[in-house]
Amino acid sequence: MTHYFQLFQDCLPSLLSGLQITLIMAVSSIALAFILGVIIGLFSISHIKTLRALATIYIYVVRGIPLMILGLFLFFGVSAITGIRFDPLIASIIVLTINASAYMGEIFRAGIQAIDVGQAEAARSLGLGYLKTMKKVILPQAIKIMIPAFLNQFITTLKDTSILSVISVRELTLNGQIIIARNYLPFEVYSYVAIMYLIIITALSILSKKLERKLKYDN
């Protein structure tokens, strides 16, 4: 047991460095996916058929491609055709953003449609246009409903970062693998990695449940 904790202290600096990259990947991609998700969500409920079709195609295509394949396609496939060499961290953020935005778009669509249609009609009768109605009336209420789903998507994206170790981004999982290549102690090192993920994701899950209960109480 003493050896286990001593090894953990030795591995901690490298693991914390990887955890920092993991959090940068997750936070950056979910912020970008939020913006893209709003656009996709609005397209999916638009009265313009072409916009609805584009949103539907985007969601089906992105959700139908495994994240690992998407990462390999961008990092190796696109680089081979264009000659552009992506930085692994930038490539990972792009891939996670594309993947998460498809799910965020669906979250926005469901949240907007959960708001009573009568509120939009009342805003229109007061002279507000479509965009102002969305901005002033619908979205503030919808976002409140969607907060627990946003947190759940963030948790999913955080876990998805480990898959992108395949494109050599030095996040938590890859740093663990590098340590194992040096000390040949996979049980111990992977247990450290698992515990670090577990602590962060458990904390986020508790926060999500508390927010969900608070929102239900407020309503």
Angle between helices 172-183 and 2-44 (to 10 degrees): 150
pLDDT at 73 over 70: yes
CA distances in angstroms from 125 to 30, 45, 120, 129, listed in the order given: 36, 20, 9, 9
pLDDT given for residue 70 in this prediction? 96
pLDDT digits 0-9 by tens, 148-173: 899 999 999 999 999 999 999 999 99
The answer to whether the pTM exceeds 0.75 is yes
d(CA 132, CA 93) in angstroms, rounded, equals 31
pLDDT at 216 over 70: no
Q: CATH number, domain at 163?
A: 1.10.3720.10
pLDDT at 114 over 90: no
pLDDT digits 0-9 by tens, 171-215: 999 999 999 999 999 999 999 999 999 999 999 999 888 887 777
Q: Output 28 or 210, whichever has higher pLDDT.
A: 28
Q: Which residue has the tokens 């594309």?
A: 98
The number of domains in the chain is 1
Nearest one of 67, 24, 32, 23 to 204, comparing CA atoms: 23
pLDDT given for residue 217 in this prediction? 62
Nearest one of 168, 28, 170 to 98, comparing CA atoms: 28
What domain range includes position 96? 2-218
